[in-house]
Amino acid sequence: MKWHVLGVGSIGGLWASNLALAGQVVRLVLKDSETLREFDNSPLQLETEKGFDSPKLDATTVADLNGGIDCLLVTTKSFSTLEALRSVEQHFTDETKILLLQNGMGFQRLVVDRYPGQTVIGGITTDGAYRKSCFHVVQAGRGLTQFGALSQTSLQSIDQLRSCFKLLQLSVEWVADIHTPMWHKLAINACINALTAIHLCRNGGLLNDDKVVQQMYELAGETERVIQASGIALPASDLISQVTQVIKATSENYSSMYQDVVHGRKTEVEFINGFICEQGEMLGVETPLNRAMLDAVRAVGG
């Protein structure tokens, strides 16, 4: 299969490397010629527990992109999704498959609405990765990636994708319903990310302060009420147990929102706690705690 990867951060780099190492044709779509120069000087490198890999792939800028797109993997920040897609949409064909592998919720619906008739697939991942430099990606923890259809997707496309996923050194599965796991991942992020950005601590730091733990319990309860009102099945064990489990498993990590705030970057809070507030409003569920998270993260810059 031929892949274009839009948004080459840590997860984009991890996926581009794994696809290329599995023999797929991969092209990175970079935002400008300066980034392309950086790639030319030090091409993508993947560091895993087994050592270093230099996958064979090529790169272009949005402006120089040519030809049609077969599979487009979008790994930009959630708030950049539509703008990024607009920059390459003239290369879409009837066969283009758009795979959205990002944090947060809300933007997926905007993509489906803007590209009716196009195959749109949603994804979530618990893989851990970070970048040591622009194109030096380190695989930090092995998790699971799930994809599922957000719009009409042909059986042939699903089969093609499944066959491709089997070749990867990543755990990837196709699921019949992606909305439920997306909601569950979002709920976990809603209870961790903003708190770490406000209290400026590692994930594990959240468990060291009783007041913060109490806040997290209440946030989880409120988030569960919104999930329930949406008609989505709640996680098998209650949300707070899942949140605690993720915190313990990632206790040394700095959450993505913490990192965004510390580096003065825009955060994804609008598509995490903000999305829960919007859903709550639509469904008649009060969300003062998610609102407080949204306001507090906005206040610290994101």
Which residues form the catalytic set? 185
Q: Within 111-130, which residues bind ligand KPL (CB under 6 A)?
A: none
Which range in 207-215, 225-233, 252-260, 288-296 contacts ligand KPL by CB under 6 A? 252-260
Given the complex with ligand KPL, which of 118 and 273 has the nearer CB atom? Answer: 273
Tokens representing 27 are 């092209």
Which member of 108, 189, 215, 290 binds ligand KPL (CB under 6 A)? 189
Shortest CB 18 distance to ligand KPL, Å: 19
The whole-angstrom distance between residue 243's C-alpha and the CA centroid of its chain comes to: 18
**223 binds ligand KPL per the rule CB under 6 A:** no
Check: CB of residue 204 under 8 Å from CB of residue 252.
yes
Q: Which residues contact 41 (CB under 8 A, 6 or more apart)?
A: none
Which range in 80-88, 132-140, 184-192, 206-214 contacts ligand KPL by CB under 6 A? 184-192
Beta strands in the chain (DSSP E): 2-6, 25-30, 45-48, 51-53, 58-61, 69-74, 92-101, 119-125, 128-133, 136-141, 145-149, 172-174
DSSP string for 244-265:
HHHHHHTTTPPPHHHHHHHTT-
**253 binds ligand KPL per the rule CB under 6 A:** yes
Given the complex with ligand KPL, which of 55 and 123 has the nearer CB atom? Answer: 123
**256 binds ligand KPL per the rule CB under 6 A:** yes
Please state, in angstroms and rounded to a whole number, the distance separating the CA atoms of residues 91 and 23.
23
**103 binds ligand KPL per the rule CB under 6 A:** yes
Check: CB of residue 17 under 8 Å from CB of residue 3.
no
**139 binds ligand KPL per the rule CB under 6 A:** no
Given the complex with ligand KPL, which of 161 and 182 has the nearer CB atom? Answer: 182
Given the complex with ligand KPL, which of 119 and 189 has the nearer CB atom? Answer: 189
Which member of 80, 81, 139, 250 binds ligand KPL (CB under 6 A)? 250
Strand-strand pairing, 119-125 and 51-53: unpaired
Given the complex with ligand KPL, which of 60 and 259 has the nearer CB atom? Answer: 259
**273 binds ligand KPL per the rule CB under 6 A:** no
Helices (H) and strands (E) counted in the chain, each on its own, are 11, 12
Between the alpha carbon of residue 180 and those of residues 34, 61, 72, 83, 296, the distances in Å are: 40, 35, 23, 26, 27
**102 binds ligand KPL per the rule CB under 6 A:** no
Tokens representing 184 are 């569950």
Q: Within 230-249, which residues bind ligand KPL (CB under 6 A)?
A: 246
Between the alpha carbon of residue 241 and those of residues 96, 172, 191, 244, 263, the distances in Å are: 40, 25, 11, 5, 30
Shortest CB 245 distance to ligand KPL, Å: 10
**203 binds ligand KPL per the rule CB under 6 A:** yes
**10 binds ligand KPL per the rule CB under 6 A:** no
Q: Which residues contact 175 (CB under 8 A, 6 or more apart)?
A: 146, 147, 148, 181
Given the complex with ligand KPL, which of 145 and 250 has the nearer CB atom? Answer: 250
Which stretches of the chain bind ligand KPL, using CB under 6 A? Answer: 103, 188-189, 192-193, 203, 246, 250, 253, 255-256
